[in-house]
Structure formats: C-alpha cells, structure tokens
A and B are shown apart, each in its own frame.
Chain A
C-alpha cells in the first residue's frame, strides 16, 4: 500500500529541457516523508504534480492506489491538502474565514460554508493548536502563527495526505519547532505528510522516511535514518557533512572551519 506513487514519470516546463525522466517513487501512508535536494532539483515541481496542478508529460501518478487522472478536481481537494512556502493574503481575513476556505471542495459551487463546515474548521484549529487565534485577523499574526493557521486551513480539508513546501523556511527556531511538532502529531494520527525542506537537522528529527532528489532523479528513497546519513547528504549536495551525536540522534551539519 502506498499513499502516493509515481511510475516512469517525466515532466518538463514549456520551452525548458526535461526535468524528470523515468522517475519512480513510493510514499508510504501514515508516515512523515521529507523531500530533500538542492535548489532546482524539482521538489516543488513534484508537489505541484502530486496536486494535479501540473500535468506529467509521461508516466503515471497514483494517489491512494488510484490514478491521479481519474480524480475529479473537488475529489482531489478532499484527499490532498497543500501549504505553500509563504502565505500572502492581499486582504485582512479573519483566521476563521481563512480556515473555512479549506471547505471549498465540500461546499456546493454556488453555496457557502454552514455550521458543519465551521465545526470542521474549529476542530482543525484545535488540532493545529491555534484555537486561541480564531478571533484574530491574518495580518495581526506573526509568520510562525500564520504558518500554523495555514496548516489548520489545510486540515479543514480533512485530507488523508498533507503536502508542505518548505513549511519552516521563514520561521525562527521556536516557531519551526512548533510546526514540526504538529507534523509529527498529524502522522501519529494516521495522516501521510510529505514535506520539502533544506534543513537536514529538522528533517532528521521529524521524518520517518526520506527522498533525496538531485537533477530531477531520485538519489535515495528509504528510511530517514539511512537517507540522512552524512555520506548520502555529501552525495546530494556535494558538500562535506559531518555528524554530531545527541543521545541516539545523529545530527548532520557542515563544519565551517
């Protein structure tokens, strides 16, 4: 059983050379998988392909063992949810109003959210630990709070699979830790979480599995313990990682001296 699987995938942007060719990948359900790779290795593109936003030029993607192409758009919005790297909202929505947007796939086309949708949003807010922010407005929040609220908006979709694109790249270490704690909690309740990150240290702490991508190909796919070892990171980034130990955790980092 796989939550997401990719067989013989190829993709290229219009007027650009091929980014992926013959890519194979399996993401296991109920686990946290990190997608690591240098800039331009195709991590975000892969997420957009999983969301059906981009259409592969070849091969097949399956979501919960069913071809992605056979999903209706609204059906896909009930199975997968996505949180982007940076959230920019042009208008100062209330936190509740923003979370309710997660019900788009469940609200009828000409309708608007009802009491059940509101209950789902409240439950998602509680899960994300942002119930105390529900009366606030988006533009009053810190970047860390906004990221948690965006995850709550995604949880309001009640998805089986949550995709996050560098969810902590703009956050200080404390807020980043809040986001990672939430990710671990979601996986422990059976959700499949796939996230991209540039931070091997955080990846090492939260991930069950790791996928290392370089130049549009999968360099490694397997458990995080093995994948995030210094020798694999060296192959991935072409850098000199060493490992420090804290109890049973091996922490990869690059020495500056």
Chain B
C-alpha cells in the first residue's frame, strides 16, 4: 500500500510536468516557472486539472468498490442506480435550456443525478418481491432507461451544429476547460463523501454479508447501507458533473485493487482510491498531451478499462457465482 502511495505521488508529479506547453512532453520544473505565461498555465490550468483528475479517479473507484461490496456483486459500478444517466440528462437539459449560464451544466447534472438515486431507491422500496439487491438493480435499470429516453428526446430536439455537439462531447467525458472553479464546485460534495467511505471501510465487509448475518453481528445493515450508498452516489454525482461520463474506472479499478491488495475493505477501499486516481491521471495526461487536440477522457478510460478487464477475465481472476 505504501508503494501505491509512492506510485500515486510519482504519477501526480509527472502529470504536473507533462503537457504541450512550453514544449510537448515532460518539461523541467525550471522551465515551467521561467516565463509568466508558463507560470499562469501551470497554476491556473494544469494544477486544477491534475487535482480534478486525481479526485475524479479516486471517487469513481472508491464508489465502485463500495457499490460492489454493498451489492455483493463484482459487476456493479457506481453509476447504475440512475446516477450516471440522471447526470447526463441534467447536463443535456442545461445545455439545451440554460445556455451560457455559468455552472448550469454542473449543477443540473448533480441535481438530476440525485433525483436518479432517490427515484431508484424509492421504486425499490415499493417493489414487493425479491431481496433488496434485485429490487435495487431492477429499479436502477428502469430509472436509468427513463433518463436515457429523456436524453434521447433532448438530443433529438437539440441543434445538431451546436447543442448536440456539446452534449455528445460531455457524454464522452473529459476535463478540458477545467479551472479552479470546476475543482472548487466539485470538492464540497466529493470530499465529505470520500471521507465517509474511507472511515467506514471496515464496516463495508459486514455489509457484504447477507442481511440477517450482518444484523446478527450487531449492526443496522439497512441504515448503514443507506449512508454508504448516499456517500458513494454523491461522490459519483459530484465528479460526473465536473467531468461528464468517464466509464470503466468504477468497474475495473476495484477488481485490480482486490487482486493485488486484498478483498478486505480496509485494504480494497484505500487501494481502489489510489489506483483510480493513478489510472485517471495517466489517461488524462495522455488525453491532453498526446495530440494538439484533446482526446475525450472517457474514450481512453474505456479503452484501457475494457482491455484490462478482458485480460483479468481471461486470467480467471474474476469469480462469479453460477
């Protein structure tokens, strides 16, 4: 785990030194502070972007780890309770109806991500069959589908030359245009949520047992699960609002973390947090420095995530109950 901390430190530092200014590739710190323009770019563009990338990766991976343990299923990811599709719908709505309002896209994404979560939870509570996992999964799928169709309508009526392009680019996920304002808007929601997940990392193990057993250990599974679900979804909503849909981090990173650092929450959660940050930092650094034009971050995380996941699957490291 200490090695992972060091790796994170190195990747963070290299990301700060990498970019297309003053020259493409890694620059010496001395060069970065040589001119006023270089200093400005470093302090106002690169630093907030690298911090946001690290927080984005840490949040998605920690939330994914939490969701997989709470749902006792290694195939769920943090956005599936209507959170991601809700955020996408909210962002598209703001692009369409509130153009040129600063922060509208982010705020609308958080609001609709929260609506998605509560709608999924509310529907699940009203279902009268199955255990709570199956109820949450079914209602999450239905609510996500509802938002996806709403999003389809918004895309259909959007101006294909301006609004539709903006929506599509947002869906692809990315940190282009990140400023301190983006970072600061995300942190109040994300930091307390991550703190809750981190502090309750041992109790996550108990909630990965069946409900009756968790209860018999002297805990209140329903209440504790609600708190953790809220925290994980809030962290996801916060970073999705800032960066759009960045796929595969929440699904893949916890698998890698469990494989190399242990399945127990005490180790799986902190290692997911750091590995998620490392993965997104690497992908975002490539996204912004490989070509003159940015590659959408979501494309790179999906490419890397899906490739790694396939190699994990073929190595027999992901177990499912038949």
A residues with a Cβ closer than 8 A to B are 15, 48, 51-53, 73-78, 80-82, 84, 87-94, 97, 101-102, 104-105, 107, 109-113, 139, 154, 157, 163
The proximity string for B residues 202-225 relative to A, scoring 1 for CB distances below 8 Å and 0 otherwise, is 110110111111011111100000
Select the stretch in B44-52, B66-74, B85-93, B282-290 that faces chain A. Answer: B66-74
Instruction: Collect the chain B residues with CB atoms within 8 Å of residue A84's CB.
Output: 210, 212-213
Contact: B264 with A102, CB < 8 Å? Answer: no
Which of B210, B211, B219, B263 sits near A91, CB closer than 8 Å?
A: B263
Contact: A157 with B217, CB < 8 Å? Answer: yes
Residue on B with the closest CB to A80? B216
Contact: B218 with A93, CB < 8 Å? Answer: no
B266 part of interface (Cβ distance < 8 Å)? yes
A90/B202 contact (C-beta < 8 A), A51-B212, A53-B212, A77-B218 known:
no
Give min CB distance, A120 to chain B, whole Å. 14
Contact: B216 with A82, CB < 8 Å? Answer: yes
Residue on A with the closest CB to B72? A90
B-side binding surface: helix, strand, loop or mixed? loop
> By the criterion of a CB under 8 Å from any partner CB, how many residues of chain B are at the interface?
33
B126 part of interface (Cβ distance < 8 Å)? no
Contact: B264 with A76, CB < 8 Å? Answer: no
The proximity string for B residues 237-263 relative to A, scoring 1 for CB distances below 8 Å and 0 otherwise, is 000000000000000000000100011
Give min CB distance, A194 to chain B, whole Å. 13
Contact: B219 with A104, CB < 8 Å? Answer: yes
A-B contact pairs, 6 of them (CB 8 A): A51-B216, A74-B219, A89-B208, A90-B208, A97-B205, A109-B203
Instruction: Collect the chain B residues with CB atoms within 8 Å of residue A73's CB.
Output: 215, 218-220
Give min CB distance, A195 to chain B, whole Å. 14
Instruction: Collect the chain B residues with CB atoms within 8 Å of residue A74's CB.
Output: 218-219
B199 part of interface (Cβ distance < 8 Å)? yes
Residue on A with the closest CB to B201? A112
Instruction: Collect the chain B residues with CB atoms within 8 Å of residue A94's CB.
Output: 262, 264
Instruction: Collect the chain B residues with CB atoms within 8 Å of residue A112's CB.
Output: 201-202, 266
Which 6 pairs, one residue from A and one from B, show the smallest C-beta to C-beta distance?
A: A77-B218, A105-B218, A82-B216, A112-B202, A91-B263, A104-B217
- A163–B216 CA distance with the chains assembled, in angstroms: 10
Which of A52, A78, A92 sits near B215, CB closer than 8 Å?
A: A52
Contact: A89 with B218, CB < 8 Å? Answer: no
Excluding A82-B213, A90-B68, A90-B72, 17 further A-B contacts by CB distance (< 8 Å) are: A51-B212, A51-B215, A53-B212, A73-B219, A73-B220, A74-B218, A77-B216, A88-B210, A90-B74, A91-B69, A91-B258, A93-B264, A97-B263, A97-B264, A104-B203, A104-B217, A105-B218
